[in-house]
Structure 1
Amino acid sequence: MRLPALRAEPIPLRAAAPAKVTLTPDRLIAAGVAGLGVASAVMLARAAGDWRFAVGFLVGFAAIAAAIVLAARMRVGVVAESAPRPDRALLRAALDVCEEPAAITDRAGRMIAANVAYVDRFGAAAVPPALPGLDLYAETVAAAGRSAWREGDAEVALGSTRVTLHVLRAGVGEDHLLWRIGDGRGEGRTDALRLVGGGFGDRLGRAGLMAALIDERGRVLVANKVFIARAIGPQVSSITGRDFAACLTQDEDGALHFARDPEDADPLRLLHVPLDDGELAAGAAAMLLFDDPAQRVPESSTRPDDLYGLLGMLPLGLALIDRDGRFLFQNEAFRAAAGMSDVEHAVYPSDLVVKEDKSAVSDAVRRFAGAKPASGPFGNAPIFSGDVAVRLRHRPDEPVSLTVASARGLGDAAVILSLKDSAEEGRLQRQVAQATKMQAVGQLAGGVAHDFNNILTAVLGHCDLILMRHTPGDSDYDDIQQIRHNANRAAGLTRQLLAFSRQQTLRPQVLQLPDVISEVSNLLRRLMGESMQLVINHGRSIGPVRADPGQLEQVIVNLAVNARDAMPDGGVLTIRTYGVSAAEVRRLGADVLPAGDYSAFSVTDTGTGIPPDVLPKIFEPFFTTKDVGKGTGLGLSTVYGIVKQSGGFIFADSEMGKGTSFVVYLPVFHGEIASPEKEKVKEAPQELWGSGSILVVEDEDMVRSVAERALSRQGYQVRTAANGEEALEILNQVPAGEASSGFDLLISDVMMPTMDGPTMVAHARERFPELPILFMSGYAEEQLRRSINLDNVSFLAKPFSVQQLAEAARDALARHAKAEKAR
């Protein structure tokens, strides 16, 4: 409802130097009295013949008039002083008449009074324009207040919301503002209460319908007279505030009755109508009840309306067929699974299937409709049933199973049909199969990369050993360098395989996505060329992430190259960074994206797009749509592996002819960010020459030979073992009681047959707990550290060169020596 304007006529103020005197009624009366006194004095002087009498009369008349005027002004002052001050409690009571939030502020913006609706919605401390929940429109609210001071009133709608703001200048001196914030809910509530409790509710009652409106707590807001009379008695005129559920009860058979009804009263049928359109609070509802004597039908008989209601509540797709083969009833699940919204007219079940399956469905319905089921322990329940594989008209490419069962004791129904919508189940099955295939391919790729790394380690090692005997300019030097170069290229390929299988070694750091993209932006501009435009936009509230900067740059470059290839005629590549809160993740509704805070970046192109049948396969290794020789098919699979290994998620969305967008979500790092250390002065390279005894354990003969020769050339005494058992036999040769194993360092492969490296080291550490260990592996260091519970362990990734092996051995020995010195 609209609150009446609290306005009054302003009091005229006297000007400091008026140019023109206004003749008010008070002044005219004063002038008339003065003129009457002067005229009387003149007449008295003429009658007495002496002007002294006139002067005396005039003086007395003036004194009496002055006394009367003074007394009148004093009375007005007393009345003015006794005028009551504004009563804030009275103002609040007046504002509470308004259903919508309302408040009054003074010229200084202070709160004078607010109604209950305002306090409930914004709080007692909220003063316009700072209204909680409407912070985005604070400037609009403030502008409305300024307009009201200037124009007298203002009315604005706050953006695309339903909220409407009314501001009115009010008060005796027009020095206050009346604020009213409406969103339509007050009017909707009033209309609903008026409908149910007014004449419309009476008409419902005359039709035998009892109606009540309840709030979200189940309390009655209003009810028509028939409901009140049945629920609490005709002598009560109001039921507002009572618990609706307390007015009803259920008998042993589950039938619904009013609590005050006699035992032989007819059962009630209840219709629940949710009011979730925003007019009332969430959870409010209209309750419609009427007497239903039909519920007294004996339990032995089955009524169609009860049967249809039961079938309608079941999540299974069910339909009833009569003896003539026509549909009697279909629940919503059956209609959705059968695509009946896409079928113009379906009288018979055969109308739902393709032409080739019509006869099979008709024969099955006819056969089961004429079957005579045997009497079972549960009465005349469906006994005979069978499945028919059919193809539906709206989905002819996917066969579905239609279950047909004979029925008795269900009224006119002779056959029950069951049809399940398997589209979602099929989609989930395909996703599981795809995930299983990707996992299997990942394991295969990791295994292949591990074995290939052993071969490359041998190739690179022998190249390094040969290069030690040649100098630049020799006839074989360039050929050996070419072999080494190709081996390094092959090592890069294995790193891509390991990235896809999430088994590569990462060096994570705490990063900011805008910084990473800025570092690689110059390279991207060179990759794009002149015909393409690169646009980079950075959002706000982007949290830090923990990832390998080099691998993250590779993700961005691979996505950019993929976008470039999709825009052969030029286009726009847009890279955008932004933060995603946990609330926004929940609103996205993605099942595979856990709720949490993420920093995201998207790479969007305006290219040709990806066909829908190709989109699910883009992250598979070796899958490519490019011509032979123009791609390995590992670009996007590498991206997928790096993102997943970094704990993130990647999604692709594409539309043919409009472009493709890849979005990467990386979890925000909430740990402590280490302060950047001061740059250290670059030290001179240390000598690789060393001394000491090293035990090398490697099952690959080529790798073991390279390691032995490389370490021997650096001055170490090297002994080798082909497996873990042989290494333990060598260590067990040390006499009992000796604290030292006789070896300064143990270098071992991780994956070996029969006994792997960590198991062998665990047995060795039982006798020699201080023995330093250097593991060699082609798998990720982080993954190995999580699976290996050993201290004082170093890692060397395969493939490695002779120099890298020597450096790793030197560093492991130096680290152990430093630890010994600290102890």
Structure 2
Amino acid sequence: MSGSMLRQLPMLGPLAAAVALSAVVVWVASGDVVAALSFTGALVVFLAAGLTLARMRSPSASEGIASPDWSVTVAAIERPGEAVAIVDRANRLVCANTVYSHWFGASSAPPNLPLARAGLEAIARAAREAWRDGRGEVDRVEAADGISIWSARAERAGRGEDYLVWRFVGLAEEDFVEDLARRVTGQFGRLLSRGGVEAAIVGPDGMVRAAGSGFAQRATGDAAATLAGQEFATLLRADERERIFFAREGRRGNPQTLIHVPLGDASDAREPGADEAASLMLLIDNAVGLGGRAEVAGTGAAPQLEALLGALPLGLAMTDRDGRFLFANAPFRRAAGIESDTLPSFPSDLVVAEDKGPLVDAVRRLGKGSARAIDMAVRLRGAADDPVSLGIAGVRGLGEAAVLLSLADSTEETKLKRQVAQATKMQAVGQLAGGVAHDFNNVLTAVIGTCDLMLLRHTPGDSDYDDIQQIRANSNRAAALTRQLLAFSRQQTLRPEVLQLPDVISEVSLLLKRLLGEKIQLRVHHDRDLGPVRADPQQLEQVIVNLAVNARDAMLAKGSAGGRLSIATRRITARDVRQMGAEILPEGEYTALVVQDTGGGIPPDHLSKIFEPFFTTKEQGRGGAMGGTGLGLSTVYGIVKQSGGFIFADNIPATAVGGRAGARFSVYFPVHHGQAPSKRRPADAAPAVQWSGGGKVLLVEDEDMVRAVADRALTRAGYQVTACADGEAGLAAIANGGTFDIVVSDVVMPGMDGPSMARAIRRVRPSLPILFMSGYAEEQLRREIDIVDMHFIAKPFSVQQIADKVGGVLSNARTAAPATAG
């Protein structure tokens, strides 16, 4: 019998007795023996079936009673450095270890984790693969903050394979020190040891982090010994002559040369915590040279160091105790700007005069036997404006070689810093120039308007008439200067058209010949198949004229006999841009304008400043109206940049320009591939219907002098003017029931500015025309304000101009009113 049947035997006796008793009761009650036997048989069959069913279900029932004990699973998956989580088919977190909860939280289940978008997609793809194939992996996923990085693996598990077991392992970014430690303890360390050099990585706390097998053999007698965690100084000893030996070998061993190479970034040496970097310690046997050759004691180890340090990517050099150069590897020469094969005599020959004394003192002090290292900021003669960090370390036991110098090659970094500084400076100067031009335009508006009002009371021949005209002329010249400032700051009003550069040059060629004179020869050359560009033709003519005038002044300077000016247009393809390797110029198709002269070139120290406003080398009064102000090239720069182009200046050698060196300006405009936009009506064009009657004008201007001039100009033209000093007062005039035909407002005002006031007025009077006055560019204001049916007048303006502009706006509003109503 089976065990289950034996367990059921005690129950069979009572059941048999009950069956017999039931059969007797039926026989007595019915008196029929057949009926009693039939009842008894049926009862026996029923009980047998019930016992069989109970025996079949008892094991599974017992299993269903006890629920899974997940605490045992959690204890089993607790692993340091590895996050483990178990999820069901509904992606619900069943259990997770402590590391998972710390990294992702106890409420997040894969694949819904706080990861970057690419990581979420990779985790979801791995989950699908695991449910389908039984396993899914992701090599690298990043956290949403981009700091933490993991690898992930999912495996299907469970009796019914209804669970996924996720495992996450943290990944560290590439660590130079750790990579070097692996190399020192591997094949690289064994090769060094074979050549007589023992290497170890020592942390900032003086503890060994990794050591080569040769170092371990000589320090402990066991090449397989791990020295991690041991104090580096206890493995060595020094005698009274400051010679270094392995402590285990004592004086019976050979003296060692200790080379201390800091593994921190020399450029960060002055930053807090920079001295907390690990170090590479190299021990060179003074009696054994590289390759196992015997050396004569006391001859030094310079040949060994040249072979070793010459292969390192760090800029390293050696000097003797008196500070004379013994050796410098290629990275050091490149970083120090040493172009010849011969080293200078002393390190101080590499720096400017002000840094010579401190550098000499530091080298001699450390060359006397001090084993410490310092970093000092020095300025190299070839780049006096950019200090670099020079590491100086004293080396003991090296014989004649006593000081180790380290210098990082920062050429590319310095170049990038200069570019960023120049771009930042130009942006800041541009913002300042735009603000100055805006404020100056307010002053000029008042001056020009007052002059116009005074001229109305004087006639030609009057004693004051000529003086007022002179004031007005000088004011207009000042207004031209502000337009130059706005051009530099890219805040002027441009009216671009799709055009061909040769057509613009042809239009301005007659003017150029008059400007250049008879001493300068003008040559023009155009490439074929030039692409069209989109630019303002008037502003483009100004670019060409300014570049030509600058070239003329350079060629006629100091009584020169003249020269040659070449203007050419070039077709630049994307392949040409790639070959140029320009970092600033994006890859694409361009039409280039090249202006080249024979004026001797631009001084190198001026090349980075020529586009700055007010920087000039011309004498006052030279170069036309803009001569001596320093705004000619700054205007060119602003127009080109606002047009989406790029401009570069460089010098060309004498052989390329017929015997004389010269300067070359290259302007690149992107080729326009779209349709030509329809030409806009000039801003000063007369409206279709002239305004003949008066009207009510709400004038809002915070500058008292500008508001007074505009008030008198409009009143004289027949308008009823209500003047307000700020946006709140103008809005109150509308709210108090005032009816006006037009609002004339400044843009920038304290408190509520003009656009905010206009939007509030439009909610009450949707069809009321708005005319903005501003010293900024119209396009810029339209992009920032974005108000329908907005009109614009640029400051400074004359009395007649503002009167005509208000009349034109009212005429256009009257013409458009029936169409709007319909």
Would you say same fold, with TM above 0.5? yes
Q: CA deviation at 1:766?
A: 3.9
Distance change >3 Å, CA 483–CA 628, structure 1 → 2: closer
Structure-to-structure mapping, 1:603-752, within 5 angstroms: 603-630=595-622, 631=627, 632-655=629-652, 657-674=660-677, 687=690, 689-734=692-737, 742-752=739-749
Contact 1:343 1:352 in 2 (8 A): no
Deviations 1:546-573 (A, max 9, x none): 2111111111111111112222222221
> Take 1:576 and 1:625, find their aligned partners in 2: how far apart are those partners?
26
Contact 2:687 2:808 in 1 (8 A): no
> Take 2:819 and 2:767, find their aligned partners in 1: how far apart are those partners?
14
Contact 1:688 1:714 in 2 (8 A): no
Deviations 1:348-372 (A, max 9, x none): 7567668997775565456546778
Structure-to-structure mapping, 1:221-240, within 5 angstroms: none
Equivalent in the alignment of 1:821: 818
Among candidates 494, 497, 509, match of residue 482 of structure 2: 494
Q: CA deviation at 1:697?
A: 0.7
Structure-to-structure mapping, 1:294-443, within 5 angstroms: 298=223, 316-319=314-317, 330-342=328-340, 344-345=342-343, 361=359, 364-365=362-363, 367-368=365-366, 384-390=372-378, 400-405=388-393, 416-422=404-410, 424-443=412-431
Deviations 1:463-520 (A, max 9, x none): 3333444555656544443433332222112212222222222222112111111111
Distance change >3 Å, CA 690–CA 457, structure 1 → 2: farther
Matching residue's letter, 1:505: T
Q: CA deviation at 1:428?
A: 4.5
Equivalent in the alignment of 1:558: 546
Equivalent in the alignment of 1:505: 493
> Take 2:811 and 2:666, find their aligned partners in 1: how far apart are those partners?
45
Q: CA deviation at 1:776?
A: 0.6
> Take 1:573 and 1:619, find their aligned partners in 2: how far apart are those partners?
20
Structure-to-structure mapping, 1:123-162, within 5 angstroms: none
Contact 2:452 2:798 in 1 (8 A): yes
Equivalent in the alignment of 1:594: 586
Structure 1 residue 464 corresponds to structure 2 residue 452: yes
Equivalent in the alignment of 1:454: 442
Contact 1:302 1:410 in 2 (8 A): no
> Take 1:651 and 1:694, find their aligned partners in 2: how far apart are those partners?
49
Structure 1 residue 574 corresponds to structure 2 residue 566: yes
> Take 1:345 and 1:415, find their aligned partners in 2: how far apart are those partners?
16
Distance change >3 Å, CA 365–CA 524, structure 1 → 2: closer
Distance change >3 Å, CA 490–CA 688, structure 1 → 2: farther
5+ residue gaps, structure 1, are: 1-249, 257-263, 270-292, 374-383, 735-740
Distance change >3 Å, CA 324–CA 438, structure 1 → 2: closer
Q: Identity, % of aligned pairs?
A: 61
Equivalent in the alignment of 1:548: 536
Q: CA deviation at 1:427?
A: 4.8
Distance change >3 Å, CA 441–CA 372, structure 1 → 2: closer
> Take 1:486 and 1:808, find their aligned partners in 2: how far apart are those partners?
24
Structure 1 residue 536 corresponds to structure 2 residue 524: yes
> Take 1:268 and 1:690, find their aligned partners in 2: how far apart are those partners?
104
The alignment partner of 1:487 has SS state of helix
The alignment partner of 1:485 has SS state of helix
Q: CA deviation at 1:778?
A: 0.9
Q: CA deviation at 1:818?
A: 4.5
Matching residue's letter, 2:334: A
Structure-to-structure mapping, 1:45-56, within 5 angstroms: none
> Take 2:354 and 2:467, find their aligned partners in 1: how far apart are those partners?
69
Q: CA deviation at 1:696?
A: 0.8
Distance change >3 Å, CA 684–CA 468, structure 1 → 2: farther
Instruction: Say which is worse superposed, 319-328 or 478-487, in terms of deviation.
Output: 319-328
Q: CA deviation at 1:522?
A: 1.0
> Take 1:404 and 1:490, find their aligned partners in 2: how far apart are those partners?
58
Structure 1 residue 803 corresponds to structure 2 residue 800: yes
Distance change >3 Å, CA 620–CA 686, structure 1 → 2: same
The alignment partner of 1:695 has SS state of strand
> Take 1:385 and 1:693, find their aligned partners in 2: how far apart are those partners?
82
Contact 1:302 1:411 in 2 (8 A): no
Matching residue's letter, 2:332: F
Contact 1:688 1:806 in 2 (8 A): no
> Take 1:716 and 1:604, find their aligned partners in 2: how far apart are those partners?
55
Deviations 1:603-641 (A, max 9, x none): 112223322233332222222222233322222222122
Contact 1:643 1:649 in 2 (8 A): yes
Equivalent in the alignment of 1:756: 753
> Take 1:251 and 1:500, find their aligned partners in 2: how far apart are those partners?
56
Deviations 1:750-806 (A, max 9, x none): 122233222332333344443321111111111222222322211111111122212
Equivalent in the alignment of 2:767: 770
Corresponding residue pairs, total: 528
Contact 2:687 2:811 in 1 (8 A): no
> Take 1:397 and 1:713, find their aligned partners in 2: how far apart are those partners?
61
The alignment partner of 1:523 has SS state of helix
Matching residue's letter, 2:783: R
> Take 1:393 and 1:465, find their aligned partners in 2: how far apart are those partners?
62
* CA-atom RMSD in angstroms: 4.3
> Take 2:813 and 2:691, find their aligned partners in 1: how far apart are those partners?
16
| Superposition TM-score, scaled by structure 2 size | 0.56
Distance change >3 Å, CA 807–CA 368, structure 1 → 2: same
Instruction: Say which is worse superposed, 604-613 or 295-304, in terms of deviation.
Output: 295-304
Instruction: Say which is worse superposed, 638-647 or 507-516, in terms of deviation.
Output: 638-647
Q: CA deviation at 1:594?
A: 2.1
Contact 2:613 2:634 in 1 (8 A): yes
Contact 2:497 2:679 in 1 (8 A): no
Contact 2:373 2:392 in 1 (8 A): yes
> Take 2:438 and 2:544, find their aligned partners in 1: how far apart are those partners?
26
5+ residue gaps, structure 2, are: 1-181, 196-212, 218-222, 228-280, 285-289, 291-303, 655-659
Equivalent in the alignment of 1:737: none
The alignment partner of 1:763 has SS state of helix
Contact 2:690 2:808 in 1 (8 A): no
Equivalent in the alignment of 2:789: 792
Equivalent in the alignment of 1:524: 512
The alignment partner of 2:555 has SS state of coil
Matching residue's letter, 1:567: M
The alignment partner of 2:605 has SS state of coil
> Take 1:359 and 1:693, find their aligned partners in 2: how far apart are those partners?
79
Contact 2:378 2:387 in 1 (8 A): yes
Contact 1:690 1:714 in 2 (8 A): no
Instruction: Say which is worse superposed, 348-357 or 385-394, in terms of deviation.
Output: 348-357
> Take 2:736 and 2:313, find their aligned partners in 1: how far apart are those partners?
72
| Superposition TM-score, scaled by structure 1 size | 0.56
Deviations 1:245-283 (A, max 9, x none): xxxxx9997659xxxxxxx9xx999xxxxxxxxxxxxxx
